[in-house]
Structure 1
Amino acid sequence: MTEGVWLWVAFALMAMTTVGTRGSFILLGEKGRLPPALQRALRYAPAAALSALVMPDLLLDGGEFTPLNPKFAAGLVVLAVALRWRNPWLPFILGMGVLLVMRKGLGW
Structure 2
Amino acid sequence: MTDIDIWIVIAALWLATFIARSGFWLAGNRIQLPQRVQEALRYAPACALAAIILPDFLMYPSGADQWDFSWHNPKLVAGIAATLFFQLRKNMLHTIIFGMVVFTCLRLFS
Question: What is the TM-score when the length of structure 1 is the normalising length?
Answer: 0.69
Q: What residue ranges of structure 1 are gaps of 5+ in the alignment?
A: none
Taking only aligned residues, the RMSD between alpha carbons, in angstroms, comes to 3.1
CA shift, 1:93, in A, is: 3.0
User: 1:34-59: per-residue Cα shift (whole Å, max 9, x none)?
Assistant: 11111111111111111111111111
Work out which of the two has the higher radius of gyration on C-alpha atoms and give 1 or 2: 1
Displaced runs of 4 or more, over 4 A: none
Give the aligned partner of residue 65 of structure 1: 67
How many equivalent residue pairs?
101
Query: Matched residues, percent identical?
Result: 33
Cα–Cα, structure 1 residues 35 and 103, in superposed 2: closer, same or farther, change >3 Å?
same
- Preserved contact between residue 25 and residue 32 of structure 1 (Cα < 8 Å): no
Shift in alpha-carbon separation, 1:102–1:33, aligned structure 2, 3 A: same
Task: Summarize the Cα distance change of 1:105–1:84 in structure 2 as closer, same or farther, 3 Å threshold.
Answer: same
Map 1:1-108 → 2, pairs under 5 A: 15=15, 18-19=18-19, 22-23=22-23, 26=26, 28-60=27-59, 61=61, 62-63=63-64, 64-66=66-68, 67=70, 68-106=72-110
Question: Closer, same or farther in 2 for the Cα pair 1:72/1:31, shift >3 Å?
Answer: same
Q: Residues 29-83 of structure 1: CA distance to partner in whole angstroms, max 9, x if unpaired?
A: 4341111111111111111111111111111122322212001100001111001
Q: Secondary structure at the match of 2:75?
A: helix
Return the TM-score normalized by structure 2.
0.68
Asked if structure 2 preserves the Cα contact closer than 8 Å seen for 1:77 and 1:91, the reply is no
**Stretches of structure 2 lacking an aligned partner (at least 5 in a row):** none
